[in-house]
Amino acid sequence: MNAMTADDLIALVRNYNPKTNADRIAEAHDFGAEMHEGQFRHSGEPYFTHPVEVAAILTEQRLDDATIITALLHDTIEDTKASYDEVARRFGDEVAMLVDGVTKLTNLQLSSRETKQAENFRKLFMAMSKDLRVILVKLADRLHNMRTIKAMRPDKQAKKARETMDIYAPLAGRMGMQWMREELEDLAFRVLNPEGRQSIIRRFITLQRETGDVIHRITGDMRSELEKADIEAEVFGRAKKPYSIWRKMQEKDQGFSRLSDIYGFRIITRSEEDCYRTLGAIHQRWRAVPGRFKDYISQPKSNGYRSIHTTVSGRDGKRVEVQIRTSQMHDVAETGVAAHWSYKDGVRSGNPFAVDPAKWIATLTEQFDAEEDHDEFLEAVKLEMYSDQVFCFTPKGDVIKLPKGATPIDYAFAIHTRIGMACVGAKVDGIRVPLWTRLRNGQSVEIITAEGQSPQKSWLEIVVTGKAKTAIRRSMREANRARFVKLGHELARSAFEHVGRKATDKALETAARALRTGSTDELLARLGAAEITAHDVVQTVYPDLTAGEGDEIPARRAVVGLQPGQSFERAPCCQPLPGERIIGITYRGRGVVVHAADCDKLGELEDQPERWVDVQWHSGNHPAVYGTTLSLTIGNDAGVLGRICSLIGEKKANISDLEFVDRKPDFYQLDINVELRDAEQLHSLILTLEAESDVAAIVRHREKPHSLRLDD
């Protein structure tokens, strides 16, 4: 395929913006080509073909010159000798800022296990809040990379595809760019589950053969009904993407057979009034399927999406999904928040339904205070990003938007945190319902409150919104604060002694500041509640002491017998340690998973010898980084837990997590996760703890065979 020239790209821009500054685009094209000279992609093509294709994708959304030029230059600051100042001098501060923003996004390891994912999401939203065009370029960049992913190594393909499925596809959907979400999902699906995708395509072809040209027949019928009603409109039909079909099958836990599972129809009208007239004509001709009607025109989504959705059923029982909208609504439905910048006939389109990007970002981030717990921030953001919406009414008729699956408790916290904290019951459409009830569109909800009420721990399993989860966790922390602070102090003391230091007030203040907990007591409370680890606390104050000794074997090279470039991970079921006999099992997309030779799970894989790999631990000194869970039963007396933490510290082991499993008046059962060097250190630690008179029982924790999926 011939590379796209500057003239080709300019022609694409002129199609929607005749007043484009062609000279600046040509200059950016030449500058980018010069900077990337001599660089090549995995496929062997010149590298600059990639930025040009990214720019071409953005022309499909009719974006402004600054965004197109940013696409051409988006890798120059990162991968070439070009500097920020040079880009600013030649193309202006706006373009330089956008290119710099894309560069910073590229450097975020959003799916990395080594970095705090929540902090990266915070940075991603900060970058988006400065100028949303940064994420538009990044999404187009990811789309082209996914379209050309076959040139990459299989392990890199799997990592990119998983990141695309988890982060970029939902983000595109949340921004209203549905076509991009669907294509990103399907390209990732092709990598992550090729067999599943092929099975969908085979079934689809079989259904097409059985039913004939369904799209042509149904669109013809719809046009005929609209002509009878004297409504001017365009009718389109399309087959859904394989991943969209697959997801529906997973949600319903069944195969697909109905037309509504594989085809979607769209009617584009001249006016909003015609949308409702069209709905009437469709419902007069075909029966409406109960529960499948949504009116996003009267209740738009936060990204500006407006459309009427309905599913109808013909005499033969075949169901068909229909979307009805105007052409302006359709523009927003295709490009989402990006519609704010799009051009039509040389001028910004001024679409009345386009959402102000700054306001849209504000709705996503306003509830997440800068000092909130990072992991809770991530959970809340991901919940908000992935959710579909349900619209409920207050007794006064105000609309409350909630994610799909929300409960009356979520509703209560959405109104006000004070209402959520005091919630004791709820009425839905005037009838008292349990607090775990899932709310549906159009219901009227009334919350019953009582003074002195506080959230229950079980609520965390019921609610789905980030705001509710954050408030409930905060309440739990306050209720158990004194106990958690005391426990956190013991854990901190033990962890600091482990590296030959003391947990002084100054050291803890330094850690609290670095981890942004606000105060030392808050740090200790979160440590005691196992929300942060003692290792994290020590590492923030003494990073050199926790980095490991120079002659130790790095964890990534701890196993001998792997293929070049092959990675490994320890099986969570048996948590093998250096010094123990091990067996490797290959897993799709995960490299080799190392099991202890006596692990029960291996019995389930005896009939798959081709997946077994002969591996062993590297001989020599290993760092104390291998997590192992010990289950203890200890006496419920003052100071017992503190002594146990001290004993573990004296054995040079670090406590990374601690969870109470059961509490009785005389005994506690708890699981302690300790980071160890090898099996010898484990045996020494168990002997030491068994000798403690207040330890009634201690066993190494192993998972039951059914708890790990072996077909991953």
Catalytic positions, please? Answer: 78-79
Give the residue among 389, 404, 170 at the shortest CA–CA distance from 300: 389
- Please identify which residue in the block is written with the tokens 């999926």: 709
Return d(Cα 675, Cα 499) in angstroms, integer.
Answer: 14
In contact, 168 and 139? CB cutoff 8 Å:
yes
Give the residue among 130, 144, 140, 128 at the shortest CA–CA distance from 47: 144
Q: Does residue 423 sit in helix, strand or coil?
A: strand
Close Cβ partners of 31 (under 8 Å, ≥ 6 residues apart):
72, 73, 76, 82, 90
Give the residue among 97, 71, 94 at the shortest CA–CA distance from 84: 97
Other CB atoms within a 10 A radius of the CB of residue 421 amount to 17
In contact, 135 and 392? CB cutoff 8 Å:
no
**603-629 core/surface letters (b: 16 or more CB in 10 A; e: else):** eeeeeeeeeebebebeeeebbbbbbbb
In contact, 692 and 643? CB cutoff 8 Å:
yes
185: left (phi over 0), alpha (psi -120 to 50) or beta: alpha
3-state secondary structure labels for all residues of 71-120: HHHCCHHHHCCCCHHHHHHHHCHHHHHHHHHHHHHHHCCCCCCCCCHHHH
Could you tell me whether strands 294-295 and 308-313 are parallel, antiparallel, or unpaired per DSSP bridges?
antiparallel
Return d(Cα 130, Cα 139) in angstroms, integer.
Answer: 16
- The distance of Cα 128 from the centroid of its chain, to the nearest Å, equals 16
Q: How far is CA 178 from CA 77, 303, 586, in A?
A: 30, 11, 36
Q: Does residue 461 sit in helix, strand or coil?
A: helix
3-state secondary structure labels for all residues of 268-318: EECCHHHHHHHHHHHHHHCEECCCCCEECCCCCCCCCCCCEEEEEECCCCC
Beta bridge partners, 325, equal 268
Return d(Cα 170, Cα 174) in angstroms, integer.
Answer: 6
Return d(Cα 414, Cα 468) in angstroms, integer.
Answer: 8
DSSP string, 517-533: -SSHHHHHHHHHTTSS-
In contact, 708 and 601? CB cutoff 8 Å:
yes
Residue 513 identity (one-letter amino acid) = R
Give the residue among 504, 505, 509, 499 at the shortest CA–CA distance from 538: 499
Give the residue among 669, 671, 661 at the shortest CA–CA distance from 636: 669
